[in-house]
């Protein structure tokens, strides 16, 4: 199966909706996995609808394949820029390339990177104990290994 043809079809099918493609993979033995996301959540009915549209466009008579369409996992690392935009204001966990693990709030995102607001302990001169202050740090996408939503229970 042609990954580009499938990716192009999915992007065209999602155009004009609040859904967006996150990942399209095609294995050597034609196992196709498509992950989608949306600003308002992904429901199973939409996944079924997209699956049927793909099956109509890419005949199994011409080339046999296995197809799986689903939502990007809630705790899966972000893969596309739009996931950062969708999650502004949410608590996230960031694993940096230099091995730091940070927890904070995603406050901004643009084409070059994102901002993370964390709490840091600062000891003021003359104070007996440190106090927590909010600190914002800027990251380039290339400086992080993963960013995922942090779930609270």
CATH number for the region 3-71 comes to: 3.30.300.20
Rounded to two decimals, what is the model's pTM?
0.85
Q: What is the pLDDT of residues 29-50, one digit of tens each?
A: 999 999 999 988 899 999 999 9
Q: Please give the share of the chain, as a percent, with pLDDT higher than 90.
A: 79
Q: What is the pLDDT at residue 93?
A: 97
Element housing 57 (H / E): helix 44-57
Q: What is the pLDDT of residue 145?
A: 97
Could you report the per-residue pLDDT of 5-14, keeping only the tens digit for each?
A: 999 999 999 9
Distance of alpha carbon 125 from alpha carbon 118, whole angstroms: 22
Would you list the domain boundaries of the chain?
3-71, 81-149
Q: Does residue 69 carry a pLDDT above 90?
A: yes
So what's the pLDDT on residue 135? 94
The tens digit of pLDDT for each residue in 72-83 reads 887 789 999 999
Tokens of 89: 């204001």
Asked if CATH classification 3.20.20.70 holds for the domain at 81-149, the reply, yes or no, is no
Comparing CA positions, the residue from 79, 43, 59 lying closest to residue 9 is 59
């Amino acid at each position: 199966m042609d990954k580009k043809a499938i990716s192009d079809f999915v992007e065209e099918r999602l155009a004009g909706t609040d859904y967006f493609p996150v990942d399209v993979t095609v294995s050597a033995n034609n196992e196709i996995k498509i992950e989608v996301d949306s600003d308002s959540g992904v429901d199973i009915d939409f996944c079924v609808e997209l699956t049927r549209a793909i099956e109509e466009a890419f005949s199994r008579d011409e080339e046999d394949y296995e197809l799986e369409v689903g939502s990007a996992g809630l705790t899966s690392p972000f893969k596309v820029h739009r996931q950062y935009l969708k999650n502004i204001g949410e608590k996230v966990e960031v694993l940096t390339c230099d091995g730091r693990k940070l927890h904070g709030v995603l406050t901004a995102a643009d084409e070059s990177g994102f901002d993370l607001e964390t709490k840091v302990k600062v000891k003021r001169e003359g104070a007996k104990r440190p106090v927590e202050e909010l600190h914002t740090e800027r990251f380039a996408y290339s400086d992080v290994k993963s960013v995922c939503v942090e779930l609270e229970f």
